[in-house]
Amino acid sequence: MSQAVDDARAIVLRRRRDEPWLARWGRRAVSVPGLLVAALVVGALLPPLLLLAVLFDLARRRPLPLARALLVVAAYLVCEALGIVSSLALGLVRPFVPPARSLAWTYRLQGAWAAALLRALRRAYGVSLEVEGLDRVGPGPLLVLARHTSAADTLLPVVLLSNGLGLRLRYVLKRPLLWDPCLDLVGQRLPNAFVARGAERTDRTDDDVAAVSDLARGLGPGDAVLIYPEGTRFTPARRAAALERLAASRRPHLVERARRLEHVLPPRLGGPLALLEASDADVLFFAHTGLEGTARLADLLAGGLIGARVRVALWRVPRAEVPTCAERRAEWLHDQWARLDGWVGATRGSQPRASGG
């Protein structure tokens, strides 16, 4: 445990040195006060806003989608405000407690924040949650490869794997998420990597791959690294762009495999292959469906999540079954992603919506 804590602290310090002090605190000078002001304003105006939302929904004869979305936004702001205060309090006591305890408290704070947000989402929209394969996950170390549909699906691994099984997750996340104050303040005290996306990648690809590889080193039985190989949520335009990017890459032979995917984007290979190269941990695939109605705020306002049934499926691949050659690993990953795509298609096609809402 002591070695794992030392490794986690070393990763945090390296990531902190990667970002200029002025950029980090300049962002926080905007995001933290802005969030707190938004929480106060929405909290003060919530009763009349909620009444107007209910009247508007009733006038349209809709099952209160606008009112539900308003409640979720309010819950998010409350969780963020409490998370900021808790993070600041934890920062004050950190110098006086052992590093292992400080790390455990930080993970606990992250787990409480994620559980509260997921609970608010489920209650507001009458969402059910079904999980298969959780009992077969077993101990770490693990490399977790998860489907990505929206910001909401980042909550599921924390609740199921961290809170439920006690795994200390190391996340690979997009750098723009640092504008979320809790992800910034709490997430940067944990061994996570915030990487560039899209056009930002041009001058940071090597640095980002190195940061991802760093997360896979020194993993203990209670540790896991989680990455979203798709990099972003599925849309037809993004699927077309991903196919073009793959055709222009060093692996154009994978295009036909990728073209058969109907519900997920082809996996970006840089991060997953870097993790496989840096660690000999087993691989856990995290498939889910039902949260497609949270892809955009407009989807929530339209009631796309009302009565949804969220299904999660997990399967673990022993490291001995993962090819050792990088090219074979790329093909293997596409094959596993095809399995995930097939599960999503079969589940979405056969699963009725839950009642509730």
CA separation for the pair 187, 180 (Å, rounded): 10
Question: Which pLDDT score is estimated for 162?
Answer: 95
Residue 342's alpha-carbon distances to 263, 285, 338, in angstroms, are 8, 13, 6
Nearest CA to 80 among 104, 103, 112?
A: 112
User: Which residues contact residue 265 at a Cβ distance below 8 angstroms, ignoring those fewer than 6 apart?
Assistant: 230, 231, 232, 234, 238, 239, 242
pLDDT in tens, 316-338: 999 999 999 888 999 999 999 99
Has residue 97 got a pLDDT over 60? yes
Task: Please give the single-letter amino acid code of residue 298.
Answer: A
Residue pLDDT, tens place only, 284-303: 999 999 988 777 777 878 88
Q: Angle formed by the axes of helices 2-18 and 205-215, to 10°?
A: 170
Predicted confidence at residue 258, as pLDDT, reads 86
Write the DSSP symbol of residue 181: H
Summarize the confidence of residues 73-86 as an average pLDDT.
95
Helix (H) or strand (E) holding 157, with range, is helix 155-157
The two three-digit tokens of residue 159, written as one number? 């609740």
* Average pLDDT value for the chain: 88
If pLDDT is split at 50, 70 and 90, which confidence band does 207 have?
Answer: confident
For tokens 């504008």, the residue is 179
Question: Strand order of the sheet with strand 128-132?
Answer: 128-132, 309-317, 282-289, 142-146, 223-227, 168-174, 193-195
DSSP state of 196: -
Average pLDDT in the 226-252 region? 85
Backbone phi, psi, residue 195, to 5°: -110, 165
- Condensed to tens digits (0 to 9), the pLDDT of residues 20-73 reads 889 899 999 999 999 999 999 999 999 999 999 999 999 998 899 999 999 999
Each residue of 260-283: pLDDT tens digit? 888 999 998 888 999 999 999 999
236-275 burial: b if 16+ Cβ within 10 Å, else e: eeebeebbeebeeeebeebbebbeebebbbbbbbbbbbbb
Is pTM beyond 0.85? Reply is yes
Cβ-contact 105, 130 below 8 angstroms: no
pLDDT tens, residue by residue, 111-154: 999 999 999 999 999 999 999 999 989 887 999 999 998 888 88
Query: Which tokens go with 276?
Result: 């496989």
The dihedrals phi and psi of 218, each to the nearest 5 degrees, come to 75, 25
Residues 185, 28: contact at Cβ < 8 Å? yes
Find out whether 312 and 131 touch, Cβ atoms under 8 Å: yes
Identity of the residue numbered 227: I
Type of residue numbered 93 = V
Domains of the chain: 12-18+108-350 (3.40.1130)
